[in-house]
Every structure is written in structure tokens, then in C-alpha cells.
Structure 1
Amino acid sequence: MNKHELIYLAEKYAAKKENSQEKLAVDVFLRKVQEQETSFLNLGQEKRDKIYHRIENEIYLRKKPRKIYWQKIIASAAVLSLIIGTVLLSLILDNTITQVASKGEKKEIELNDGSKIFLNSGSKISYPENFKKDRRITLEGEAFFEVAPNPEKPFRIKTGNTNTTVLGTSFNINAYSKGKEKISVSSGVVEVSSLKSPSQKMKLTKNMQLVFHNGKKTLVTTGTSSNYNAWTKNIIVLEKTSLGETARILENWFDIDIRFANSDLRKLTISGKFKDENLETVLQSIALIKDLKIEYKTPKNIIIREHNKNFN
């Protein structure tokens, strides 16, 4: 039942023109509002201010000059009660939680259904405090999921251009790059679809990877999935990775800014693994392999250049 239906019923209720089913619907709603009184009192000041503002707007929109009759006053009181109740329920029961892992940090999050999310640096997820028909998550950046099985409540993750649906499995989603998402499955079965073509679905099983570019499936590969979620064990894995992409990874991990003296250097590729290594060790290894020079303008501002080349 939406707000407009509730207001219509309130007016019939006050005028004593409601039928037995309509009367029951209003009585049930008012009981729910009373049950939420404690939740409202426990809300923070910012949330309360938001509720008061919404109620004030609703009341203002319904103001019209008219003659005063007691019957209309009673109807208005009933309508006002339902407006307040509707706003309270919509804001209290539909609470969204947002978790952010800033650059240089990682987060482990346990949901109330028992699922675990490992959030990589420079990433964000949003989800409802209480799951209803399904378990919906919105992801920006990268995360590894260990989903608690529940066939009655599918687990759905929305990124920029894709929807990923699972019942119980573990998998990694990388959605850092705008228009490009990578999904890698560690166990179970994952169903992936594009937001542009939701009917075209692709099922992935263990050690399968899928890449979407601008909402279109571009590549399906098989390989060791542990390389894709190695970051959860504090391991950087590079497999013919461009220096441009490597720089982005290091910027997220260590909260730094990397520039290249020559943009062509971004296209060079490198392979290797770094476990629990500090930034200086990783950069010096890259410099040694590719015959480059690392220059620190400040501890957090770094320039990568070829040897004996000046940066303008």
C-alpha cells in the first residue's frame, strides 16, 4: 500500500465510509506505526531532522484554504497521522548502510545473513540493513564475496554495467574502471548479466573469469581464481599487467599518486607477485626489471621515468 492509498483510506476512515477490509488495513497500519516508536527515538539527530523535514513538506503540500468543519478536522487529523506514519516507516524500515574502504585500507564486513565481504582499497558498497525478498548489494570498486547459502533469497550485486546473482558461493568482482567489470569465481555458480541486456545471462563456475566492457561480454577465460582474490591475503599479483594499471593498484593500496614522465611507459607490461611488501620494495623491483627510475617529489607523489630523461 503506497502513501496515496493510505491517505485515501484515512479520509474514508474519518468519514466512516470504509468497509470492513479497509478499516482493518488502517488499524494494522497504525499498530505498525506505534511499534516503530522506539526505533524513532533511537535514531540520530540527522535522521530525525530528515524525517521532520519530509513530514513538514507533506503537510505544506496538502494545505488549502477552506471552511472549518469538525468532520474535516477529524479527517485531516487522520490523514496527518498516516502521513507521519508513512514517512516514519519508509525512513526507519528502509535504512541503507554504506561501507567505504579508503585508499590505503581494506575492510572485512559480515552481513546479518552470515555472508562476508572483503572490500578492497578505494571501494564502496551499499546494502539495506535488513534484507527482504532478496539480498541486494551495490558495489563501486573491488570486493571478494563469501555468500551464505539461502535459495529463498538470491544474493545480487549491481556494479556499473552488470548484475551478478548467486545463491551461495565465493567470487571476486573488480569494477574499478568505468565501463569495465571483471568477475572471477572461486566456488559455486554465479550468474552474470548486463544491465543493457538483462535477458542474456552467463553462468560461471569455479576458476572461470568474465570481462564486461561497456555492458558487453568481451572475454571468458579459465585460470586460477586465487590470483584474482590474492589481494585479500595482502598479495599483489601482476600477470602481464600494464604499468598504468599497476600504478592504479599501488595508488589504491598505499594512498599515493603516481605519474609517468613519458605516457608510453604506461603501456609497458610486468609480471610478478609481492606478498606483504612495502611500497619502496615494489617500486624498486619494477624499476630494476624495466630499467626505470623512481623519483619521490614527496612521500605520496611519485614520478616514474626512464633513466637519464628529464621530466618537464
Structure 2
Amino acid sequence: MIIGGLLFLSVHDETGVEKNIKVIAEKNQLYVLPDSTKVWMQPGSSIRYAKAFMQDRRVWLEGSSLFEVRKQEGSTFQVYIYDAFIEVKGTCFLVKQEDAYHSEVTLFEGEVDFNIPSTRQKTAMLPLQKLTYNSIDSQTQLDTITNISWENGRYNFKDVPLTQLIQIVSRMYHTDILVEGIHRAEVSFSGSIHYNESLDNVLNKIRFSLNLNIRKVDDRYILY
């Protein structure tokens, strides 16, 4: 378990008894839960779970993290986000929360059920599907992805259009990345990005792979 950059907090009840454990990621980090489930946490994200986690495998997530859930017969695993929760059946999936009202769940392998308690709506997800959830109106949208996968701490891309790739990288690193003077529809990227790879390494990888140039203007990166 990688612990550098993680902040651990204990949450107590009114009697002072320790009830929950909260973990906050200060940078891209891997955290391993007591059942060996791996949580690849993005900067600023946090998870909270009960001290008696092995008897009640529930996790409350703020921010964005990817879960590789260890399957246990007779034991469910649930991830709670704002106004909804994900029921897991031993799988690998990414949860992205840009704010309290918009969430995305991308399933790479296994099965999950996305649940909205207020409307009793349940959506069964299959591998290589992405669900978008708007908690304001409790609406969901299910789309299929075909060119992105996850394997042992890295995203693998196959013929991903440059426009889509830039959107993904921008969101991963919370950075503005622009493209100038390139016929985007004709350019695609194949390769991998490790979960804790630096932004400079990622941009150089894209630049060399696609024979592009890059410059930085203020806080923005421009590929051309």
C-alpha cells in the first residue's frame, strides 16, 4: 500500500469510540482496503469506511477514484456518492465526480448496479459502459466505450481521437489543454498512461507519438 501523500482521520461517535476511518489523497495514490480492494485515488478525493469494514463493506467517496474490488462470496460491496450508490459484484470501475450534481461511472470489467434511492431506479452496467448521472433531475445516460481499458494501474488507449484524449487528460490533471492547427478528426492516439504519471511525461508522450509541438501560455498547454 502506498501511503505517501495520504491523510488518515478517525471519526468518533458521541461516546468517543472510533467508528470510521477517512482517507484523503493529497496526490495520485493507491490505497488498499482491509479486504484487499484497491482504490486508485485522484488528488483531493477522499474515502470513508467503517472500522468494522469486513462485516459491512461500504465506502463513501468524495471526488474521483478507480476501484478494483475484491470479490467475496456472500458479501456485497457498495460505493456511496452524492444521492446514489453503486453495488459491486467484484469488478473494476472508475467514479468521477466533478461536483455534487454530476457523476460518471465507467465500468472496465465485471458488473455493477447503479442505484438511485429517491426514485428506486436501478441500472445494471456491463463492461465497457459509461453511465452519466445528474442528481438534480435523477437522470442517467448509458453509453458504450470501446477504446479505453484499465490494467494494473494504467489506462490503455487504442486509436483514441485526439479530441477525446485531450478531454480525458485535462480532467485527469485539472489542467487546460488546447489544440491548434491540427485536423483533429484525422489524429488518434494509442498508448498507456500510468495513474501517477506526471503531466509533463503524459504530454511528451502524446507529442512524440503524434509528432506534435507543445508550448505553455500562462497555465494552459497548447498542442500544435
- What TM-score comes out, normalization by structure 2 length? 0.67
Q: 1:101 to 1:305 in 2, by over 3 A?
A: same
CA 151–293 in structure 1, closer or farther in 2 if over 3 Å, else same? closer
Counterpart position of 2:153: 232
Q: CA-atom RMSD, angstroms?
A: 4.0
Distance in 2 (alpha carbons) for counterparts of 1:244 and 1:189: 26
Q: Judge conservation of contact 1:160–1:175 (CA < 8 Å) in 2.
A: no
In the superposition, relative to structure 1, how do residues 205 and 213 fare at CA in structure 2: closer, same or farther (>3 Å)? Answer: same
CA distance in 2, matches of 1:99, 1:185: 23
Task: State how 1:62-211 maps to structure 2 within 5 Å.
Answer: 87-88=14-15, 91-94=16-19, 96-103=20-27, 105-107=28-30, 109-131=31-53, 134-166=56-88, 168-178=89-99, 179-197=101-119, 199-211=120-132
Identity %: 17
**In structure 1, what residue type is equivalent to 2:93?**
N
- Partners of 2:168 and 2:109 in 1: CA distance: 27
In 2, the alpha carbon distance for the partners of 1:291 and 1:190 equals 39
Q: Displacement of 1:192 after TM fit?
A: 0.8
Q: Is 1:295 matched with 2:216?
A: yes
The question of 1:220 aligning with 2:169 is answered no
* Letter aligned with residue 279 of structure 1: L
2:170 corresponds, among 236, 239, 247, to 247
Q: Which runs of 5+ in 1 are unaligned?
A: 1-45, 52-85, 252-256, 308-312
Report the Cα offset of residue 119 of structure 1.
2.0
Secondary structure of 1:137's aligned partner: strand
Contact kept, 8 Å, 1:164 with 1:191, in 2: the verdict is: yes
Larger Rg: 1
Between Structure 1 and Structure 2, which shows a larger proportion of strand residues? Answer: 2
TM norm structure 1 = 0.51
Tell me the SS of whatever aligns to 1:229: strand
1:196: Cα distance to partner? 3.7
On the 8 A contact 1:274/1:282 being kept in 2, the answer is no
Q: In the aligned structure 2, how far is the partner of 1:93 from the partner of 1:186?
A: 35
What is the aligned length? 204
> SS where residue 153 of structure 2 aligns?
helix
Question: CA offset at residue 193 of structure 1?
Answer: 1.4
CA distance in structure 1 between the aligned counterparts of 2:38 and 2:129, rounded to whole angstroms: 21
1:15-60 per-residue CA deviation (whole Å, 9 max, x = no partner) reads xxxxxxxxxxxxxxxxxxxxxxxxxxxxxxx98xx98xxxxxxxxx
Alpha-carbon offset, residue 293 of structure 1: 4.9
Match of 1:304 among 214, 221, 224: 221
Q: Which amino acid aligns with 1:119?
A: M
Shift of 1:305: 5.0
